[in-house]
Amino acid sequence: MTVKTQIADGPGDTIFALSTASGRAGVAVMRLSGPQARSVAASLTDDRPLAARKAVLRTLRHKGERIDEALVLLFPAPHSFTGETVVELQCHGSQAVIEAVSTALLQHGLRQARPGEFTRRAVENGRMDMTEAEGLIDLIDAQTDGQRRQALRQMDGRLKGLYEDWRSGLLDALAQVEGEIDFADEGDVPDALSHAARPHLDRVIVGMEAALIQADRGRAVRTGIEIAIIGAPNAGKSTLLNQIVGRDVAITSPHAGTTRDIVEAHMVIAGLPVTFSDTAGLRDTTDAIEAEGVRRARARAEQAHLRILLQREPAIDTHLQDGDIVLKNVEGPVKKNEINALTGNGLDDLMDRLTMIVSTRFTGTESASLTRARHVDCARRALTATQSARTHLGVAPELVSEDIRAALRAIDELAGRADIEEVFDRIFSQFCVGK
Ligand SMILES: Nc1nc2c(ncn2[C@@H]2O[C@H](COP(=O)(O)OP(=O)(O)OP(=O)(O)O)[C@@H](O)[C@H]2O)c(=O)[nH]1
Ligand SMILES: [Mg+2]
């Protein structure tokens, strides 16, 4: 069955890119998108008809010469990834085939896609919103299970659902406000306004605040969790790092002040990427190099999601935040909150505790929706504007609708509806070519 009608293709030119990784492989997928995709695919395949969404085996030919045998798949607009007509050529994955196909496509007037251009077209054609597109990048980049799950939820429109809810609450409030301004008796306006719009604004504010509280967690899942090992010189920090990762990554010695540079080691805990940092022992020192190490150690201690403070006589007690781990490095049998860094006695308990912390604090079932700095920035601006609307309700009604519109604009930006070229360029340049 062939599709008879060519459904509205956008004005853009037709692009192509290799969608699979380059290098030697069994199969390589070359993807074409745009108004010419179908006709160019037809002329490469002896003009035999292509049925929608049916894989067919065809000889690819250019200027009379056979290039390859390929599976050809046609997705007529608008039911495709980009919303334009898309053709996939599944050819053999050698450098020579890929080059010959690319040359043929270029000679047919197609253009090599820029990074993220397929997804950008999908967003521009309303096939997905910006946050779903970001979920897609995260899914492609996911290295652990936790990241994969969060990315899939984002791709399924989790954040979209949330901001659509905020938007509808704001629109309800706006409708009340504008209705009241039109009809109410001058004297009654402020009271009537606050009465009708307040519950909507309250609900939106509560939702935004809750999402922002969870945001650190969402970003931690994307970028990984940082755990800093801190303590006095000679506490056994480097010895502990080596035990945790089971490799000799950091130099240890009886000399106080051995570690200066931050030594990092990576692991996966509870499905999330975790980076442990071993840091210089914290003390005042006149040695300029060690002092720089201590400065870096303090900075890392402050930035990390979690600190393990290792104590050995004399114990120091510094840079701790809520929920951190304090461990005594002891000889012989270990009790709760103790470890023997040299023998590894107590290490299993520490790892259990870390697994528990990572899974409850960072991957809980109520996982985060705001997963990027960009999301947090838009949501904060929307929250500030909504709070301002609520403050103005009883006192300056003329400002309320202006505030609500500002909140709606911030949400549009979050959705990628604001269509600001610059924002689009920045986001899509993070994609790889072929996506
Ligand atoms: N007996 C014993 N020795 C330990 C223990 N932990 C570490 N040590 C020793 O103590 C010395 C200092 O250990 P490191 O791991 O280098 O200490 P650090 O905290 O990294 O020290 P700086 O890098 O100087 O801040 C080394 O000689 C270790 O072998 C322990 O639990 N028991
Ligand atoms: Mg050390």
- Topology of domain 236-360, CATH: Rossmann fold (3.40.50)
Q: What is the pLDDT of residues 182-232, one digit of tens each?
A: 555 555 555 666 678 899 999 999 999 999 988 878 888 888 899 999 999
Counting residues of the chain whose pLDDT is more than 90, the rounded percentage is: 69
At residue 112, what is the residue type? Q
Residue 282 alpha carbon to ligand 1 centre in Å: 14
Q: Which atom of ligand 1 is nearest to the CA of 251?
A: 16
- Do 329 and 235 meet the contact criterion of CB atoms below 8 Å apart? yes
CA distances, 96 to each of 25, 29, 57, 89, 143 (Å): 12, 14, 20, 15, 31
Q: Which residue's CA is minimally distant from atom 6 of ligand 1?
A: 236
Residue with tokens 């307040």: 198
Q: Which positions make up the binding site for (6S)-5-formyl-5,6,7,8-tetrahydrofolate?
A: 31, 88, 127, 435
Q: Which residue's CA is minimally distant from atom 12 of ligand 1?
A: 234
Q: Is the CB of 277 under 6 A from ligand 1?
A: no
Domain boundaries, the chain: 15-129, 142-221+372-415, 236-360
Q: Is the CB of 259 under 6 A from ligand 1?
A: yes
Q: Which residue's CA is minimally distant from atom 2 of ligand 1?
A: 342
**What residues are paired with 33 via a beta bridge?**
15, 86
Q: What is the pLDDT of residues 265-295, one digit of tens each?
A: 999 998 889 999 999 999 999 999 999 999 9
Q: What is the pLDDT of residues 376-407, one digit of tens each?
A: 999 999 999 999 999 998 788 789 989 999 99
Q: Is the CB of 281 under 6 A from ligand 1?
A: yes
Ligand number nearest CA of 235 is 1
- Topology of domain 142-221+372-415, CATH: Four Helix Bundle (Hemerythrin (Met), subunit A) (1.20.120)
Q: Is the CB of 257 under 6 A from ligand 1?
A: yes
Q: Is the CB of 103 under 6 A from ligand 1?
A: no
According to CATH, the superfamily of the domain at 15-129 is Probable tRNA modification gtpase trme; domain 1 (3.30.1360.120)
Spatial neighbors of 205 by CB under 8 A, at least 6 apart, are 383, 386, 387, 390
**pLDDT attached to residue 249:** 96
Residue 306 alpha carbon to ligand 2 centre in Å: 18
**pLDDT attached to residue 420:** 57
Q: Is the CB of 282 under 6 A from ligand 1?
A: no
